[in-house]
A and B are shown apart, each in its own frame.
Chain A
Amino acid sequence: MLTEHKIKELEVKANEIRESIIKMLVEAGSGHTAGPLGMADIFTLFYFHVLKHNPKKPDWEERDRLVLSNGHICPVLYATMAHAGYFPVSELQTLRKFGTRLQGHPHREYLPMLETSSGPLGAGLSQAVGMALAEKIDNGMSADRYIYCFMSDGELDEGNSWEAIMLAGKNRLRNLIAVIDRNNIQIDGYTENIMPLEPLADKWKAFNWHVIEVSGHDFQALSEAVEEAKGVFEKPTVIIAHNIPGKGVKEFERDYKWHGKPPSREEANMALKELRTLGGKIKSEHE
């Protein structure tokens, strides 16, 4: 259980991260907006509560692994890592610029503290499966390094995703936890129009996964979902996180057109103003 105080702290942190995302995107002049904003709460919960990690020692062997499969939402990964202390927040303004460590899609040659490079979709879960298999070889059923994979719903169109889902079910990888950014949008439109995924939970269940459905913006519920997943002994777990794309900025929310474009300066100013009032919870941005 998260305390009221902790939830408040996470809310404020997620909001700071959303502000950073807007600022870095407008500075970069290209990149994805909806996904990063929608996943900000989940990233915040993981980096500030769930993960066993050490930002000052990113190659610590005993750390949990977090694989970001849909690399295009990396602004939220970079922003969260910066706020968690992996590198200075000021570096976020170099996103997508020549010579940056913060490549347009994550590349661990430039930023070795990343668990993997990603961008081409559908290949993150299988890498996470490989990590969990390696952990199982080394530590058997007592494996206590958790392997998390954050993935998008759109990338479930990829065959490689289902190959990975099958293999994880077969090998009963209990320390593997996938989190799907179920925001229902992809570049060309809404997922159920492009390539229907429903009944999504049933599909994963049929592949021998434990399935939890939860709001991606409810820290308490998300935290409980992770705890529940850790208690499942015979299966990998998928947390289908129902997310609002563009979450935090009313004008961006639920509109697939914000999948792959950055805000203009004007739109960014409007968004930052809205974020500073924490979605209306604070009456004045100067409060």
Chain B
Amino acid sequence: MAIDVHGVTKRYGDFTAVDELSLTVPDGSLTALLGPSGSGKSTLLRMIAGLELPDAGRVVIHGEDRTLTPARARDVGFVFQHYAAFKHMTVRDNVAFGLSIRKRPKAEIRARVDELLELVHLGAFGDRYPSQLSGGQRQRMALARALAAQPKVLLLDEPFGALDARVRKELRAWLRRLHDEMHVTTIFVTHDQEEAMEVAEQIVLMDDGRIQQVGGPRDLYENPANRFVMTFIGPVNQLGDSYIRPHDIDILEDASDGATEAMVEHVVYLGFEVRVELSLGDGERAFVQLTRSELDELELERGQLVYVRPRRSTVFSG
């Protein structure tokens, strides 16, 4: 295993950011630490990097106990949300930093930096300063810088959080491809479940400083371990004690067994998908996802009375 975290705890005053957490990350995997803000995901990442010291527990990287090793000796690449670009250095010097600290020969540094700048599509920008780059370019530079000294582990703290939606989408796909090429064990932190689902092989879903569930994207969506996972990953309706995905509800025109009466409040067109918002008898609300053709068959209108029947619902005990 590339990274083993054993019973790690981190407190800030009265607040427990990470609570006796244990986690294993396989070699060469691409893992997302997902959770709402304040769930402890960034703190966990920073403890793996050595930027924070845990109050209890151990961090083992490639079989060696690194709990007390300073960040500089951990062979870890780290990418910050706000790039942390060295503003007084050119792009080339930024990328070369880790290698020049390690006193590698000049020619070797130049070759490696050229190779990395090509990899992150910044070949023509080597002599610019970070202030002359866009956000996406800066983050790619930061990634090249983190990869330069060939770290054993690559850690990214909300790497796309400060970028606009379009660039974020591009960089996600690009990170995924990069990982397929380089196979360096990668962990990234995100609060965006779509981003985690799209990029990661393994998702670690956190809340309140604890892990709620670990699994593949499909696993988390289809077999949520608890109420939190069900509501955090993907859209959900709550009817009484049961949770139902909006695509797991049938809309019927006539009453039948197990169906409840409902009134159509809104029909929202979202391209291929249509969202039907319903109000149920006892003041509850629900929404249903349909395709355009399903809607056309039903011919729904605002104010119309229909019957809804869950195809599949989940009840959590306790």
Q: Do A and B come from one complex?
A: no
